[in-house]
Chain A
Amino acid sequence: MNHIRTIISKEWADIRRNKLVFSVVWGVPLLMAAIPIVMLIVMSRVPVSQSDYAELGGVLKNPLFAGMSPTEAMQSVLASNYLVLFLMMPLMVPVTIAAYSIVGEKVTRSLEPLLATPVTTTELLLGKGLAAAIPGVVTAWLSYGIFLIFARIFSVSDRVFSVFVDPMWLVAMFILAPLLTIMAVNVGVIVSSRTSDPRAAEQLGSLIILPLMVLFIGPLAGFIMLNATTFWISAAIVALLDVGLMHLGVKLFQRETILTRWK
């Protein structure tokens, strides 16, 4: 446990001193948090016509929006759809950090002394993974909190606000988001330990975002209904994937290949 804590603190110290990465870690999530907030404010001021309301179509079948006026429905549907961004937020930066974590140390030649310490592969990967994941999750929660403050002020009614604090979103933010982050970070670390080029590692790692776009596009296209069950099922699947990926990561981490084959 001490080894993991040391690796995390080392990674964070390194990130803090890298101004570009540090500003991206905090800047990108806060920027993304602005999108649903702007949506919320705009929809509180723009009158909604019947035809706009009708365009929401299948989305309105979600019991969450039952009995809402067109303005309430429009504001809650659009803003909550963009809340899915909060699930992607903890992935984007951590996956980049994780993807660089092993290959980056190899490039700067600091990996060999680190591998020479009595640190196990599991401790090393967990430390690096958590160091990347924790800032992502914390910034996502912070962004969600900021969004809720704005939602409290700009929601056209209490019913709209209640959509944003529905248990569905609490499951999404506090269970699914951390699990997704762990998954993304695991993928990032695996890619990092199998690729000898830092740029390739970052690009490959960022591909993990793509499957999540389904959660963003699906509800708008009407083939996925966002509700607590959807998120619980997603969380269960992702939790299983996390365990599998963690084992895979440890198995695929070849100290010898990293030290002797990578130039």
Chain B
Amino acid sequence: MIRTEGLCKYFQSDGHPIKAVDGLDLQVKEGEVFGFLGPNGAGKTTTVRMLACLIGPTAGRAWVNGLEVGRDDLKIRGDVGILTESPGLYERLSAQRNLAIFAELYGVKDVPGQVEKYLKLLDLWDRRDTEAGTFSKGMKQKLAIARALLHEPPVVFMDEPTAALDPEAAKTVRDFIETLRGQGRTIFLCTHNLDEAERLCHRIGVFRQQLIAVDTPEALRRQLFGRQTVVHLAQLTDQMVASVRGLSFVQNVEALPNQGAAGGKLVISLSDPAAQNPAIVGALVGQGAQIQFVNELKHSLEDVYLSLIGNGR
């Protein structure tokens, strides 16, 4: 649905080329929600602008919905919806008028019907005649989302949809995006919010001028940290640690004694915890260990992101 090959964008600053996007190779499947993560200035917005045919690439090629960027720009613009960083509404015009203008520009057949549908979906119908400028940030963002979806585009670009929103408004917007999952639309989501990415995206790409890694959050976790079991013990002795280290399938063991107490925990790296945990428990019990809990260590997406961005630095 979205494909790029060596996509580059350089800007000139004081006569020197600045690499905003440098050789992006990416494939986003139909119906996929793809999270595009990266720090400020990483080139995320530039990438979205290239894919939405707002600016042209310096080099490389890209296809959106089977159409090539730079060749079928008008058609691509008609096939994509874009939620820009700022809502960019016509503040003196009513919510309904704002949507009607864009519905007409996108060539929507039933303009009043589509406008009503999205105003109702986003809970703005009662405020349809209110000037958009008087809306709260959250309402403006919802109106901007409605504007991006009015023409039922198969591909939607969302650039920081919950940035600058209070937690309640952010949740409303996030919940709405979640309802879009499974509707067959391809959603390209630029975000800083890692929880949001984790919750909404099928796959994520960590990007800073270049694509550092791309996969599902779970697969990235495994690639970076492997699978780890944590065993909480009432007492932690050197013999217990040695008994676990002695098991052939154990990749690594880290002993973390409790501060000022007898117990502690063991963090054990394994290839297949489901199959290997019973043997570990057996070895520890054999050493007289009192096991309090056994669970899998889950690294947060933030750990993954920071690790990737740190390595890519």
A residues whose Cβ falls under 8 Å from a Cβ of B: 2-3, 6-7, 9-10, 13-14, 17-18, 108-120, 255-256, 259-260
Residues of B within 8 A of A6 (CB): 101, 104-105
Q: Does B144 contact A (CB under 8 A)?
A: yes
For window 68-121 of chain B, which residues contact chain A by CB distance below 8 Å? 74-75, 77-78, 80, 82, 84, 86-93, 97, 101-102, 104-107
Q: Which of A6, A7, A118, A120 has the most CB of B within 10 A?
A: A118
Whether B101 lies near A118 (C-beta < 8 A) is no
Whether B11 lies near A118 (C-beta < 8 A) is no
Given contacts A17-B92, A117-B77, A117-B106, contact A259 B55 (CB under 8 A): yes
6 intermolecular pairs with C-beta atoms under 8 Å apart? A17-B131, A109-B88, A111-B88, A113-B102, A118-B74, A118-B105
Apart from the given pairs A18-B92, A255-B55, 5 other A-B contacts in the complex at a CB distance below 8 Å = A112-B86, A116-B53, A118-B77, A260-B11, A260-B46
Given contacts A112-B54, A259-B49, A259-B55, contact A117 B92 (CB under 8 A): no
Q: Which of A7, A113, A118, A260 has the most CB of B within 10 A?
A: A113
Whether A120 lies near B54 (C-beta < 8 A) is no
Chain A, Cβ-Cβ closest to B53 = A116
Which of B77, B80, B90 is A10 in contact with, Cβ under 8 Å?
B90
B122 to chain A, nearest CB (A): 16
Chain A, Cβ-Cβ closest to B81 = A116
Contact with A along B14-57 (1 / 0, CB 8 A): 00000000000000000000000000000000100100111110
Chain B, Cβ-Cβ closest to A254 = B55
How far is B86's CA from A108's CA once the two chains are assembled, in angstroms?
9
B residues whose Cβ falls under 8 Å from a Cβ of A: 11, 46, 49, 52-56, 74-75, 77-78, 80, 82, 84, 86-93, 97, 101-102, 104-107, 131, 144, 147
Given contacts A3-B105, A256-B56, contact A113 B93 (CB under 8 A): no
How far is B69's CA from A224's CA once the two chains are assembled, in angstroms?
55
Whether B88 lies near A113 (C-beta < 8 A) is yes
Given contacts A113-B88, A116-B54, contact A14 B105 (CB under 8 A): no
Chain A, Cβ-Cβ closest to B74 = A118
Chain B, Cβ-Cβ closest to A115 = B54
Q: Which of B52, B82, B101, B147 has the most CB of A within 10 A?
A: B101
Whether B102 lies near A118 (C-beta < 8 A) is no
A19 to chain B, nearest CB (A): 10
Residues of B within 8 A of A115 (CB): 54
Which of A9, A18, A108, A256 is B88 in contact with, Cβ under 8 Å?
A108
How far is B97's CA from A75's CA once the two chains are assembled, in angstroms?
50
How far is B88's CA from A109's CA once the two chains are assembled, in angstroms?
5
Whether B54 lies near A255 (C-beta < 8 A) is yes
Whether B84 lies near A116 (C-beta < 8 A) is yes
Chain B, Cβ-Cβ closest to A14 = B92
Residues of B within 8 A of A109 (CB): 84, 86-88
Whether A259 lies near B88 (C-beta < 8 A) is no
Q: Which of A108, A115, A116 has the most CB of B within 10 A?
A: A116
Chain A, Cβ-Cβ closest to B84 = A112
Whether A260 lies near B55 (C-beta < 8 A) is yes
How far is B56's CA from A114's CA once the two chains are assembled, in angstroms?
17
How far is B88's CA from A13's CA once the two chains are assembled, in angstroms?
17
Which of B55, B84, B92 is A113 in contact with, Cβ under 8 Å?
B84
Whether A116 lies near B77 (C-beta < 8 A) is yes
Residues of B within 8 A of A259 (CB): 49, 54-55
Residues of B within 8 A of A114 (CB): 105
Residues of A within 8 A of B131 (CB): 17
Chain A, Cβ-Cβ closest to B78 = A118
